[in-house]
Structure 1
Amino acid sequence: MASKKVIKSSIIVMILIILGKVLALIRDSLIAAKFGVTYVTDIYNFALGIVYLLTTISYGLTTTFIPLHTEHLQKNNEEHKNRFVNNVINVSSIITIIITVLLIIFAKDIIYIFGHGLSKDSKVFDSSIQVTRIMMLSLVFISLQSVVTGVLQSHKEFYEPAAMAMVSNIVYVIYLVFFAVEFGIKGFAIATVIGFFMQFLINIPKYKKLGYGYKLVIKFKDPELINMLKLMIPIIISTSVVQLNLFINRSFATNIYGGAVTVLDFANKINTLAYEVFAIGIAMIVYPTLSELAVKEDKTEYKNSLSQAINIIMIILIPAAIAIAVLREPLITIIFKRGAFNNEALKLTANALLFYCPAMIAYGIRDVLNKAFYSIKDSKTPMVNSFIGIVLNIIINLIVIKYMKVSGLTLAITISASVTTIMMIWNLHKKLDGIKLKSMWNSFLKITFCSSVMGLVLFIINKVSQLTMGTGMKGSLISILVSFLVGMLVYITCIYFANIKEFKYLLEYFNAKRNRVNNKL
């Protein structure tokens, strides 16, 4: 896939994801204001962490489903593809319902083992059990959406899947504004279930428009289904590494101090802003194309698409990571510092966020690398890599948590993510007999240098702003706005002269768009 096509396909997807993230920021700000950094938010974040950890099963289902269904589309067998899709929907729904029931039954034991800090107070423990049981119902809708979005992405329809976060966040914001005071955290758990249902629902119109309908097909022994389930197991393990590491860290955090889980979660939410907007969007778009090129055995175009996707991610995420690290305090002030979220919470979150930022870059690159392995039906390499990352994360946690508290947990994630990403690059390089490593390394050095120049400028602007305007909401807002405008100008100028072709494709695309608008006028 040519770079221009990647960029063009990515623009609307990124806009939809950005809208979702803006609403997510409003949601998180409201959570901080309504509940603060307390055990109440720890309960919700712990329960949500379990849901997100289990969504890796559905993510694995989507990831495995896309290349298999892409082959169906290549063969153009309408009846077979409909039967296969419905069989996957029905079998996965049955399995998910069984898992959900078991999780609801054993919720008490799960919290006691993995969130032991929440079991020390009987009132907190009882509330944790209730919230967790309610939120487990989300898994049914997550399972359904995983197949439906897989179908849409196989057809290279990305807009509805990209809009899912926006739709669910609308539900959360409405609840937090109008109902949080009356119904509290348990009501928010119900709103979360409704949000996941809406994520599923938004995909249905396009799904039906593509010619798919529901049929009661249940064949557990279908050879394609069995093959898909076999491929899913290592994919689930490898794609669960981010959520599993977060879940492990939440378990560690429950024993540090009250609110530690929430500090960890708020730091993670800010750190993943750029990653979730850009890296996930690019990985979503490039995956069906890599799968298609793998089926066609077009190695040259495959390597070009992979290299271009990684370079585009670095162009965006490296400066984003440096900017967030430099401007972490004004960012946290604007997003969270109100209501029950005080200065102490701000400092704790800022310290944790500083050590988290490099992980954003590693996550973004690793997402594309995972897709590359899956597209050539190698799910074992990412799985082994994930095991190494989890073990490394736990070892580092045990060493640093005593001295660095929550900041040690975020440092552990950054180190484990960076090491495993480098390993993935080398493994893929060997497997494909070269993936333009030298070109990507040169791009990395150029982008890092330009981003560092930008970071120095941002540091000066932020210091001047703090000295003249203070560190409150007004000073933070001015610092962010000025830093954004000046920092972007400095970075764009620097990166332009660095002669990175993917950046030039971006400029060409926007210039072409501007010319079309001018011609119409």
Structure 2
Amino acid sequence: MAQTVLRSAAVIIIVTLVGRVVGLLRETLLAYHFGTSFAVDAYRYAFAIPTMIFLFVPGALNAIFVPSVKSMLVENRREEAQALFRKMLTVTTLIYFVIMVFGMLFSREIMQVMTFMQQNSEAITPEQRAQQLEMGTRMLQMMWPSAVFIALIGVFQATLNAHQQFFIPQMSTVVNSVVVCAAYLLFVPFYDIYGVAIGTTLGFLFAALSMAYSIKKEQYSFVPDFRWKDEEMKKIGERFLPIMLGSLITQVYTFIYPVLASGLGPGRVAALGYANTIYQLPMAIFVAAFTLPIYPYLVEYFTKGELDKMKQSITEGMRYLFILLVPVTVAMAIIPDELVSLLFYTGPRGEFNLQSIELTATALLYMGIGLFFLAVRDLLTRAFYAMENTKITVIAAVVGIIINVVFSLALIPYLSHGGVALGTSLGSLANMLLLAFFLRRSIGSFVQREFWMTAGKTVVAAAVMGVGLYAATSLLVFQGVWVQKMYIIFLIAAGAGVFFATLVMMREPLAVQIIGRFSGKIVKRKRG
């Protein structure tokens, strides 16, 4: 299993990186064509709806549907899996079609709620506010069909993941961004900002269509099936509400930052937002890369009653996450200013100044503490989904948020917005520990000896890397923004090299596997 997981993880990491680059191009095109006009604000408000749906629906459908399909495949009940796919596709499409219709009917009211905070703002005139509301309403109506397409994306991704296919599902996000980028050439010259809304909807449509061939290749049919009264659909229905609720609860973290930091002075909310952007990069690249491939195995082993193999898979996932995320955490602690500067600082003439760097770096330092905790939370959540136990995950998520808010409020007087960031890390820790406690009660001790051996070596290697980073940043200073950026990139690469070299010297097998997998891909590409 280890080699299969690592191979799948390598594919996911590479495709995710490509997706991030194309996504950055998408944002750059929006900035180039429309800047920071109130029309872009209207688009952002409207786009928040499909964004929210996309953030939790595919992942939730994956958690809901993969256990059922994978169990049937393991038990050689392929025809039943194909029938279940048709039923799930039918009911999901109908549910989100109804959501789309109601959303289109009440788009104006939704936009009024979204723009409520601007009602007393002096930065925008009443006439502009009315125009923005009209524009936002029209764009939201154009983007509501995305809800149906996102639901299709979720069902298709879950089905392919159950078959251990990850490349095409991950590529669908790249297809999405490419289509939106193409809209700036095809639609924006004729429809202005509305062309971006059209491109957004078409992006989700083509993302779903990009997986259709692979679905057909696995012999699944798109013919509707309304025979929903069977035992498997009942199980899916029982999992639906708690998993959707848990997925929605995790999105609450997005709204905690501005609420808790709103009275701490100018720039604090923005700093938390910028820090979170950096924080989410390793989460997007590494966490999905290992939780997605391991999840079908967890379902398979639990279905077969092979709990020892299930524990081994969890331990292996934790080892990979620890070895990849601990050095990132150390970097966020040692060179937070440099990481922030690399992504956001454009020189003394830009609005993102030295104070902005300091504020964002403070938030990043405290936020980075919880990186591994949040990653393991996602892995353990998948383990509970594999066991079809969804209530515990919701309880743990709620407790995590409560801990987050309580500690944030307690730490704000001492750390300002850094207290909000540290509160988030502590909330993630509480969530992880609670999941670990209940998982241990369910399947027994699952953190095996191999994890602690890897953890010890990783801490030593990360400490060596940290000392090197601290020395390099304190001794050498370069003039010029872009020279500094190039040096920071070199510094990050060198730090990663030192980290993995130290692990190899300590004969850590996972480090050798990771290096071998990625170097092997590079060699193959050169030969090709």
Q: Same fold (TM over 0.5)?
A: yes
1:479 aligns with 2:478: no
2:268 and 2:377 map into 1 onto residues whose CA distance is 27
Q: Which amino acid is 1:479 matched to?
A: I
* 2:95 aligned residue: 95
Q: 2:473 aligns with which of 462, 466, 472?
A: 462
Displacement after TM superposition at 1:420 (Å)? 1.0
Distance 1:78 1:489, change over 3 A: closer
Displacement after TM superposition at 1:147 (Å)? 0.7
* 2:171 aligned residue: 163
Q: Which amino acid is 2:484 matched to?
A: G
1:11 aligns with 2:21: no
Q: 1:342 aligns with which of 322, 340, 352?
A: 352
Displacement after TM superposition at 1:15 (Å)? 1.4
* 2:60 aligned residue: 60
1:113 and 1:239 map into 2 onto residues whose CA distance is 22
Displacement after TM superposition at 1:109 (Å)? 5.5
Displacement after TM superposition at 1:246 (Å)? 0.9
Q: Which amino acid is 2:235 matched to?
A: N
CA contact (8 A) 2:187 2:199 kept: no
CA contact (8 A) 2:260 2:409 kept: no
Displacement after TM superposition at 1:354 (Å)? 2.8
Distance 1:192 1:517, change over 3 A: closer
Displacement after TM superposition at 1:373 (Å)? 1.2
Displacement after TM superposition at 1:186 (Å)? 5.2
Deviates more, 1:105-114 or 1:166-175: 105-114
1:69 and 1:340 map into 2 onto residues whose CA distance is 52
Distance 1:66 1:392, change over 3 A: same
1:261 and 1:136 map into 2 onto residues whose CA distance is 29
1:426 aligns with 2:430: no
* 1:146 aligned residue: 154
Q: 2:382 aligns with which of 358, 364, 371?
A: 371
1:310 aligns with 2:318: yes
Aligned to 1:469, what secondary structure does the other structure show?
coil
Q: Which amino acid is 2:179 matched to?
A: V
Q: Which amino acid is 1:74 matched to?
A: V
The answer to which structure, 1 or 2, has the higher relative contact order (CA under 8 A, 6+ apart) is 1
Distance 1:488 1:455, change over 3 A: same
2:142 and 2:266 map into 1 onto residues whose CA distance is 23
* 2:306 aligned residue: 298
Displacement after TM superposition at 1:271 (Å)? 1.3
Deviates more, 1:330-339 or 1:61-70: 330-339
Displacement after TM superposition at 1:237 (Å)? 2.5
Distance 1:510 1:395, change over 3 A: closer
Aligned to 2:445, what secondary structure does the other structure show?
coil
User: Superposed, which structure 2 residues align to 1:225-374 within 5 Å?
Assistant: 225-250=233-258, 263-338=271-346, 342-343=352-353, 345-374=356-385
User: Superposed, which structure 2 residues align to 1:433-452 within 5 Å?
Assistant: 433-436=444-447, 439-452=450-463
Aligned to 2:251, what secondary structure does the other structure show?
helix
Displacement after TM superposition at 1:102 (Å)? 3.4
Distance 1:74 1:441, change over 3 A: closer
Q: Which amino acid is 1:9 matched to?
A: S
CA contact (8 A) 2:409 2:420 kept: no
Distance 1:295 1:419, change over 3 A: same
User: Superposed, which structure 2 residues align to 1:125-136 within 5 Å?
Assistant: 126=133, 132-136=140-144
Distance 1:287 1:164, change over 3 A: same
* 1:21 aligned residue: 20
User: Superposed, which structure 2 residues align to 1:27-106 within 5 Å?
Assistant: 27-28=26-27, 48-55=47-54, 56-106=56-106
Distance 1:89 1:247, change over 3 A: farther
Summarize deviations over 1:6-63 as a string: whole Å, max 9, x none: 2123222221122112323444555667777897776655655544443424422221
Q: Which amino acid is 2:281 matched to?
A: L
1:96 and 1:312 map into 2 onto residues whose CA distance is 36
Deviates more, 1:184-193 or 1:229-238: 184-193
1:262 and 1:128 map into 2 onto residues whose CA distance is 23
* 1:202 aligned residue: 210
Displacement after TM superposition at 1:330 (Å)? 3.9
CA contact (8 A) 1:41 1:259 kept: no
CA contact (8 A) 1:42 1:262 kept: no
1:510 and 1:416 map into 2 onto residues whose CA distance is 34
Deviates more, 1:88-97 or 1:326-335: 326-335
CA contact (8 A) 1:118 1:128 kept: no
Q: What is the TM-score of this pair, normalised by structure 2?
A: 0.84
Aligned to 2:164, what secondary structure does the other structure show?
coil
* 2:397 aligned residue: 386
2:109 and 2:260 map into 1 onto residues whose CA distance is 17
Displacement after TM superposition at 1:445 (Å)? 4.1
1:296 and 1:488 map into 2 onto residues whose CA distance is 39
Q: Which amino acid is 1:71 matched to?
A: S
2:343 and 2:525 map into 1 onto residues whose CA distance is 35
1:39 and 1:408 map into 2 onto residues whose CA distance is 32
1:509 and 1:133 map into 2 onto residues whose CA distance is 46
CA contact (8 A) 1:87 1:219 kept: yes
CA contact (8 A) 1:14 1:281 kept: yes
Distance 1:259 1:275, change over 3 A: same
1:378 and 1:260 map into 2 onto residues whose CA distance is 39
1:380 and 1:329 map into 2 onto residues whose CA distance is 40
Aligned to 1:13, what secondary structure does the other structure show?
helix
2:34 and 2:262 map into 1 onto residues whose CA distance is 17
Deviates more, 1:153-162 or 1:243-252: 243-252
CA contact (8 A) 1:66 1:153 kept: yes
1:447 and 1:508 map into 2 onto residues whose CA distance is 18
* 1:417 aligned residue: 428
2:487 and 2:149 map into 1 onto residues whose CA distance is 42
1:396 and 1:114 map into 2 onto residues whose CA distance is 29
* 1:494 aligned residue: 502
Percent identity, please.
23
Distance 1:354 1:247, change over 3 A: same
1:392 and 1:340 map into 2 onto residues whose CA distance is 37
User: Superposed, which structure 2 residues align to 1:501-516 within 5 Å?
Assistant: 501-507=509-515, 509=517
Summarize deviations over 1:222-256 as a string: whole Å, max 9, x none: 43222202112222223334322113435556777
Distance 1:515 1:487, change over 3 A: closer
5+ unaligned residues in a row in structure 2: which ranges?
Answer: none
1:171 and 1:80 map into 2 onto residues whose CA distance is 35
1:417 and 1:364 map into 2 onto residues whose CA distance is 9
Displacement after TM superposition at 1:492 (Å)? 1.2
Displacement after TM superposition at 1:185 (Å)? 5.8
Summarize deviations over 1:367-404 as a string: whole Å, max 9, x none: 21111111122111111101112223333455556776
